[in-house]
Structure 1
């Protein structure tokens, strides 16, 4: 179990994996670990629904990616600030058929000695199934402490009472599953929710703030300590958006607003030089943002072993 006196680093070696699935770093005095929940196979067209198909095909070819499908990375964050351990998003869970490589984060935390019972706070960037589904996986709720605090925006909770999918471009089977997953999450965890309007300091140096765009209540999480900064951008950023910030994602409920949010966050990161982590950038998704003409450039960090 992660104790008050222990850092957010592996307590022991878990089962051997062929590829790394977690990466630890420090942001000043804050311990951070990016954990891969696995990947979701989705149609490549959902990455850029307003792009010319030929332009998207060129981008995929340039990135050595297949033309039809894309393995969407799923990243969650574990943060240790003071005596609080914060989970940011929870992955997709194991209850959905067809996603055998997703829903990995609980087992990966356990493998490195981090007990779910040590989590004091959970921040939900938004209530899509690949961000709350992990809290609905068998056995997860029972392992969480009964007084765990779940932070989510008021706008997000209200949106999912009657969600609007009119501007999304998703596979036909997805919206009903998103609706049912959000409804089940609210039913099971409503008594643990701490809703906020625009901004919430979850722990020292850990602030959740609403951006909207992807969903009306979508939020990002900013970490700041010792002059260092990191932003977990949730679903505000996708791999295509550095070169093409205006390309719209099929899962965005307000794609025009989402593009404005993305541009604003990129500019913030350029000014303060902070690190960027996002839910669907390739693991470990840690880098910085630079200007590149009228677009941007993602600069991955060198891994520190």
Structure 2
């Protein structure tokens, strides 16, 4: 499917009142960002090391609610040559407490993307909102038998005995994360293709382990025809531009995550590459600019 097909693909009966897919090009590589929906998160999760007044001021400045924020969930589909690569899979529908998430299967259909055409899955990490979609029958049962699932070896190893001692999550979450990751590894073990530090999934599509958010957290870099785009997973949350040293409650190593984030944003500000991230407002496509001692989110201009 060409970029034009991506941008105009449509399946009757799937119209929604909000946009849920956005197509862009990185040189010869086609990318489609797909919204898996949103999930409510306590606002305090966004800045566990910030003073309460500082967080309240930031939320007010951003016109965000003071108690609970809707956390966007972005997934990407990347096509290059004969490879169709799914980047993460959203939450899935097995968590009734999050009824507005888990939209991936429906929205793939709406975009005219057959799950059976996916040759590879790349996973930034094994938190449930990145792998849950691959565990529900609406998607899992439609995937090809020879599907390859790429993730950092350190990530698979971590979830054998995960350490939550530096996280600040709502009480039920760690156990659900542990159980979901364990189930995922059991279901997909024969299809896993772990890598150590860096792996080229397809020409111009490279996974790199950053660590920080989880020990095996990885980003995906696309490069073609002089264009660059980075899917940052959970290395960058919404406060990460103007408050890059704030810790997220889901960070397993908050200080290392901040270092990873600052290095990445500094690099993108210097080279002008585009950024996508899981939890930035849909479609999350943006550039990064330096703003004093921090950074500035510069939304991409949508192409129609």
1:286 equivalent in alignment to 2:248: no
Name the counterpart of 1:103. Answer: 102
* Alignment: residue pair count: 303
User: How many Å separate the matches in 1 of 2:100 and 2:227?
Assistant: 33
| 1:114 corresponds to | 113
Displacement, 1:6?
8.7
Query: Does the aligned pair in 2 maintain the 1:10–1:113 contact within 8 Å?
Result: no
Provide the TM-score with structure 2 as the length reference. 0.97
Q: Which residue of 2 aligns with 1:71?
A: 70
Gap runs ≥5 in structure 1: none
Question: Matches of 1:10 and 1:96 in 2, distance apart?
Answer: 32
User: Cα–Cα, structure 1 residues 8 and 201, in superposed 2: closer, same or farther, change >3 Å?
Assistant: farther
Superposed displacement of residue 7, structure 1 = 4.8
Distance 2:90 2:234 in 1: 12
Unaligned ranges ≥5, structure 2: none
Partner of 1:11: 9
Residue 9 of structure 1: how far off its partner (Å): 3.9
Deviation (angstroms), 1:150:
0.4
Where 2:223 maps in the other structure, the secondary structure is: strand
Could you tell me whether the CA contact under 8 Å between 1:213 and 1:258 is conserved in 2? yes
**2:276, 2:4 → 1: CA distance?**
24
Alignment partners' CA distance in 1, 2:78 and 2:3:
15
Task: Give the deviation of 1:139 after TM superposition.
Answer: 3.3
Is the counterpart of residue 158 in structure 1 residue 148 in structure 2?
A: no
- Measured in 2, the distance between the counterparts of 1:5 and 1:145 equals 24
Q: TM-score, normalised by structure 1?
A: 0.97
RMSD of aligned residue pairs (Cα, Å): 1.3
Give the Å deviation of 1:106. 1.0
- Deviation for aligned residue 1:10: 4.2
Query: Hey, what does 2:141 align to over in structure 1?
Result: 142
**Cα displacement (A) at 1:98:** 1.0
Give, in whole Å, the separation in 1 of the partners of 2:118 and 2:87: 10
Alignment deviations for residues 44-66 of structure 1 (CA, whole Å, 9 cap, x no partner): 00000000000000000111111
